[in-house]
Amino acid sequence: MDAGIASARKDRGRVRILDTTLRDGEQTPGISLTPEQKMSIATMLDDLGVDTIEAGFPITSAGEQEAAKMIASSGFSAKVTCLARAEKGDIEKAIDCGVSGIHIFMSSSDIHLREQFRISREEMTEKVAEAVGFAKAHGLEIEFSAMDATRTETEHITEIANVVRDAGATMFDIADTVGICTPDRMKELVRDVSAAHIDVSVHCHNDFGLAVANSIAAAEAGASQVHATMTGIGERAGNTSLEEFVMAAQMLYGFSTGIRTGMLAEACRFVSGITGFPVPPNKPIVGRNAFGHKSGIHTQGIMENPLTYEPFDPGIVGRGRWLQAGKHSGRHGIAAQLRELNISLGARELGWVVRRVKERGDSGKTTSTEELMQLALASRQTMAGGVIASDGGT
């Protein structure tokens, strides 16, 4: 482990992960999953070690109900919950699926209440108290989400927290539904809601690229749970990336999670394969380039000690590092790449290959492993054929 990171670590306790890949993740434009596909992702999530799997939104379709039933009856270590509006019909559908937990939500912000639902704050709190009480009477473990909580007056949020706690909810989720929260504001909100003596969770969206930062801030302020999705898929710009949150929370902030980090790379590839939603190459932790090195200065450092240019050993998340030849490459990096291919070149051949790689780079081309092998073979032929004379001095 990197001494630099280790020195920044403190033991800050455990953060629970509610994975919502199968609910908010499936709300990603372009993604739709069959019950069998949901089941296979749930099995992987359970192996990965998430605390709670949000299986879906049963009232929306027969397939959602089928998936939730399958997942709820699988005997997973993870708890299984599903989404419901603050409506009896929604809650009954969830009960029919056999889940032990329920995630009831309702908008709390004035803009939502006034413009979309056309009800008053008082009507909202009454409706929520009734719904939570109904779920409680059926023995469900209840998490309540205040939708658009981050655009709701603090006074109203804390009032709702008190109401749902009294009605039997054990977790209050602050949903940053449109992704406008900042880390400082999130800390304040978590502290305000915690004053109602209820466990706090956060559900962050990534509209400004702050979902992970806001989730970390929430944990620092005492939130006990974070909602996340594999590779951050979800409505619009997506949700908190599970793999980014887990690695930052553990390695930079000293929290622990139940996640088997060595499975992260494989798990994200698995979800991407099923959803058909690609993982961007520059995605932290799991993107193709996250442990790829190209510049000569970096590749030389990596060969001396990988921690010179890597935040942590890629093996921790089930990956390996790789080097790419390009115009910023130096002799060290290209020789190292060739060694991995079991190719050893003499100094002159190596110099020839390095020059060709740089020429290619200057004309806008990168050099793949395959092309590098071909250049290495060409270098031997060229040297053997005496073409070196024309190549001298370049």
Instruction: Report, in Å, the least distance between residue 77 CB and Mn ion.
Output: 25
C-alpha distances (whole Å) from 274 to each of 63, 68, 262, 271, 282 are 17, 18, 20, 5, 20
* CB closer to Mn ion out of 240 and 250: 240
* CB closer to Mn ion out of 190 and 204: 204
Instruction: Report, in Å, the least distance between residue 103 CB and Mn ion.
Output: 11
* CB closer to Mn ion out of 240 and 299: 240
* CB closer to Mn ion out of 24 and 141: 24
Helices (H), the chain: 3-6, 35-48, 62-72, 88-96, 110-111, 121-137, 154-167, 183-194, 211-220, 242-251, 264-275, 296-304, 331-340, 347-362, 369-384, 388-391
* CB closer to Mn ion out of 24 and 64: 24
Instruction: Report, in Å, the least distance between residue 205 CB and Mn ion.
Output: 6
**Measured between alpha carbons, how far is 117 from 138 in angstroms, rounded to an integer?**
27
Q: Count other C-beta atoms under 10 Å from residue 18's C-beta.
A: 26
**Measured between alpha carbons, how far is 197 from 304 in angstroms, rounded to an integer?**
52
* CB closer to Mn ion out of 158 and 206: 206
Instruction: Report, in Å, the least distance between residue 170 CB and Mn ion.
Output: 21
Q: Which of 212, 228, 218 is nearest to 193 (CA)?
A: 218
Instruction: Judge contact between 31 and 277, C-beta under 8 A.
Output: yes
Contact set for Mn ion, span 315-374 (CB under 5 A): none
Part in contact with Mn ion (CB under 5 A); list of ranges 22-30, 278-286, 365-373, 381-389: 22-30
Part in contact with Mn ion (CB under 5 A); list of ranges 21-29, 73-81, 90-98, 121-129: 21-29
**Measured between alpha carbons, how far is 37 from 45 in angstroms, rounded to an integer?**
12
* CB closer to Mn ion out of 237 and 297: 237
Q: Which of 158, 155, 149 is nearest to 186 (CA)?
A: 149
Part in contact with Mn ion (CB under 5 A); list of ranges 24-32, 41-49, 65-73, 263-271: 24-32
Instruction: Report, in Å, the least distance between residue 26 CB and Mn ion.
Output: 11
* CB closer to Mn ion out of 23 and 156: 23
The correct pick among 24, 54, 143, 173 for binding Mn ion (CB under 5 A) is 24
Instruction: Report, in Å, the least distance between residue 280 CB and Mn ion.
Output: 20
Length of the chain: 394
Closest residue to Mn ion, based on beta-carbon distance:
24
Instruction: Report, in Å, the least distance between residue 24 CB and Mn ion.
Output: 4
Q: Which residues of 113-129 are buried (b: 16+ CB within 10 A; e: fewer)?
A: beeeeeeebeebbebbb
3-state secondary structure of 298: helix
Size of the site for Mn ion (CB under 5 A): 1
Part in contact with Mn ion (CB under 5 A); list of ranges 19-27, 78-86, 149-157, 216-224: 19-27
Instruction: Report, in Å, the least distance between residue 105 CB and Mn ion.
Output: 9
Binding site for Mn ion (CB under 5 A): 24
